[in-house]
Structure 1
Amino acid sequence: MIANALQALPTMARTEVPIASHGVLAIRTRQLGRGRLKLAIGAGAPGESMSTMGLRVRAQADAEVAEAPPENRAFKTADAFCLISGDEVLVLVEGMRISVVESYLSQLLAKANQPAGHSAFEFHPVGDQDQEAILADEGVKELKLSGTAYQAETELARVEYGDTAESIIFRLWAETKDRVRSLLSEQVENERERQVLAEHWADLNITTTIQARGGSRGEPVVLESMRNAGMELIDERPDNVNVTLVTEKGTTISGSSLVLGKFVNLSRNDERNDLPYMDVFLALEQYQAELIQQRRWHG
């Protein structure tokens, strides 16, 4: 679908799509061949200046100076790279959530006048079968959530990307943060102090544990509900929170490990904030080869 859409959008300018949280997204590089499509997507806010830091400043404080971007350019603030083969997609992101990539590609299909049903597609994470099997076999007796009290703009704008946060983990974390912020704000006497407190929510770490009474010998319906909550992490994971599951047999599983994925180390281009797209594409191809060897790739 995406390859067909790009035939109708032959230039980078034609692929520009405004996304409220990121300014404008566009495809900076495209490569089609060997049955797969590789994309480098960039994000930047048109006309937005970028702050600079003074060097060899003789005063005690730096002067606030911002540089405007060159004409017909925007400072790039985020990247996403995709490898698409059939219905399978690998995504590598920096400074951008995968749901933003999903929204962008959906709007790109609509912009290319593709059939309405095509632009209604959704990304569905592929679960790690080994971790899923452990969870299904051993159940869950404990859920640990940890993160800061900071309310990111991406959380506030989640509905923009069609993410309704139905997951119990989403709701637990959101309600926990809201309750903590509310209780602490009540302890502050005036509005100015409350504003200062709100500016420092990121300095406040929150950890909460949900544990079945009696552990692995707890009430079966309680343990079943906790196992189901853990399994939901395969399809939907909260932003800005670390989730750890402890099974009834004591096995510890991180929420992120339930979905197939890996971390890669990449070097940037010299004197630029760019990731070399050829290096990224190679990393995606190598991971695709791993998944094919493991019989986990069906594209």
Structure 2
Amino acid sequence: MSRRPAYKTIHFVRASYIVEPAQPLDQLVRSAMRKLGGMGKTEVAMSTLGTAGIRHRRDKKNEPLLLAIGAGVPGEQMTTMGLQVEEEDDTDRGTLPPANRAFKHSEAFVLIDENELLLITEGSFRVSTVAVYLRLLISKACLKAGDVAFEFRKVTNQDQATVLAEEGIKELRLRTNMYRATHELNGVVATGTVSAKLKAFVGGLKELFAEDVDEAERELLAQHWGEVQVNTVIKAEGGSRAEEIVLEAMKSVGEEVLDEDDDNVDVTVITKRGKEIHLGQVSSSQKIKLMRREDANDLVYTEVYAVLNECRDDLVKHKLWQK
């Protein structure tokens, strides 16, 4: 089985406190882990994720802290499918995870350097739930109450944000492909975001493409969805001379989609003066391609750590880290 690609976003955020604690977040997390001890002691119950805990840590002196956090549901039976079944029907069977294991359904990879973080999430983990987990971890270690009074805020490139505010938006370009836009739609409740609506639109196109082919051809077509590019251009006729209400609406939609977290849609806005601004240039997020394990759906933590370190080095080089 070949390794499959996983298109992810690296999120650049900062832990923001009402009152700054004596230590930055990375030192608080290190202190909590040392006080708690083994990985099993880092487990906390989370209503949306089941049990979450640190699966791996790279805690070296004078280096950023790197964490792989996993979440799963202990004791939950997973339905299995029979292979090489000779009967006409197969009855679903549930199997329990091995002792002291849980079926992992979500994970997050985190680089923490003082109060700045880079994150990659998978499954039900979101940037906000990583913050919740870290707050619960610090609380479990019984550190000071004020040490958990933080939230994650996106680190923006103020130069590009200023350009966007001053020049407005003339054109919005959204780019994806059939596979990336629709492979996570099944079982997911659609939201009202711009990218979610684009994916619903692409899903309709996908059905249109497949409706007039037989089953064998549809299966073959499904193997090539990644080759079908979908480019959507939204612009106001008349360019910078368009009615102000239209341009204001464009600006509102453009700012909304630039602020969204979606691994499967590439976003570019064109300002009234013709300047191109990409998603990562404003929110300091970065689209990347990772590879899943050869025999599983997981990401390889050592490979993810390397990518996070490379991203941090690039931000340091461009003087955007701890600015």
Give the shorter-chain TM-score range.
0.5 to 0.7
Q: 2:127 aligns with which of 98, 104, 113?
A: 98
* Equivalent-residue separation in structure 1 for 2:119 and 2:261 (angstroms): 18
Residue number among 126, 142, 153 corresponding to 1:124 in the alignment? 153
Superposition deviation, residue 3 in structure 1: 1.6
Work out which of the residue numbers 210, 228, 241 in structure 2 matches 1:217: 241
**Residue 224 of structure 1, CA deviation:** 5.3
Residue 314 (structure 2) pairs with residue 290 (structure 1): yes
Q: Percent of counterpart pairs with the same letter?
A: 40
d(CA) in 2 for partners of 1:154, 1:43: 23
TM-score normalised per structure 1:
0.68
Aligned to 2:58, the other structure's residue is in SS state: strand
Query: Given the alignment, which residue of 193, 212, 237 partners 2:260?
Result: 237
8 Å contact from structure 1 (residues 145, 241) kept in 2: no
TM-score (norm 2): 0.64
Aligned match of 1:107 in 136, 145, 149?
A: 136
Q: Does 1:26 align with 2:50?
A: no
Higher strand share: 2
**Which whole-Å CA distance do the structure 1 matches of 2:319 and 2:140 have between them?**
35
**Counterpart residue number, 2:68:** 40
Tell whether the 8 Å contact from 2:280 to 2:286 is kept in structure 1 after alignment. Answer: no
Are positions 1:72 and 2:95 aligned together?
A: no
Q: Taking structure 1 as reference, are residues 257 and 22 closer, same or farther at Cα in structure 2, changes over 3 Å only?
A: farther
Unmatched tracts of structure 2, length 5 or more:
1-27, 176-180, 198-231
Distance 2:85 2:277 in 1: 49
Deviation at 1:257, TM superposition (A): 5.4
Is the Cα contact below 8 Å between 2:169 and 2:250 reproduced in 1?
yes
Whether 1:4 and 2:28 are equivalent positions in the alignment is: no
Distance 1:87 1:133, change over 3 A: same
Q: CA deviation at 1:26?
A: 0.3
Bigger relative contact order, structure 1 or 2 (CA pairs below 8 A, ≥6 apart): 2
Counterpart amino acid of 1:55?
A: L
Q: How many residues align?
A: 255
- Out of 279, 303, 308, the residue aligned to residue 279 of structure 1 is 303
Tell me how far 1:62 sits from its aligned partner: 4.1
Q: CA deviation at 1:237?
A: 2.2
Deviations 1:228-280 (A, max 9, x none): 6644666x526699566443245565556532232333344453443222222
1-structure distance, mates of 2:89, 2:284: 47
Partner of 1:140: 169
Q: Relative to 1, partners in 2 of residues 1:35 and 1:210: Cα closer, same or farther, differing over 3 Å?
A: same
Distance (Å, rounded) in 2 between the aligned partners of 1:60 and 1:247 = 61
One-letter amino acid of the structure 1 residue matched with residue 156 of structure 2: G
* Aligned partners of 1:21 and 1:154 also within 8 Å: no
**Which whole-Å CA distance do the structure 1 matches of 2:40 and 2:150 have between them?**
23
Match of 1:14 in 2: 41
1:266 and 1:240 map into 2 onto residues whose CA distance is 12
**Stretch deviating more after TM superposition (102-111 or 238-247):** 238-247
Does the Cα contact within 8 Å between 2:190 and 2:196 map onto a contact in 1? no
Partners of 1:135 and 1:247 within 8 A in 2: yes
Residue aligned with 1:80, SS: strand
User: Judging changes above 3 Å, is the alpha-carbon distance between structure 1 residues 254 and 289 closer, same or farther for their aligned structure 2 residues?
Assistant: closer
Q: CA RMSD in A?
A: 3.8
- Deviates further, 64-73 or 214-223: 214-223
Structure-2 change in CA distance of 1:127 and 1:12 (3 Å): same
User: 78, 84, 88: which one pairs with 2:112?
Assistant: 84
Structure 1 residue 286, shift from structure 2 partner: 1.4
Q: What is the letter of the counterpart of residue 52 of structure 1?
A: T
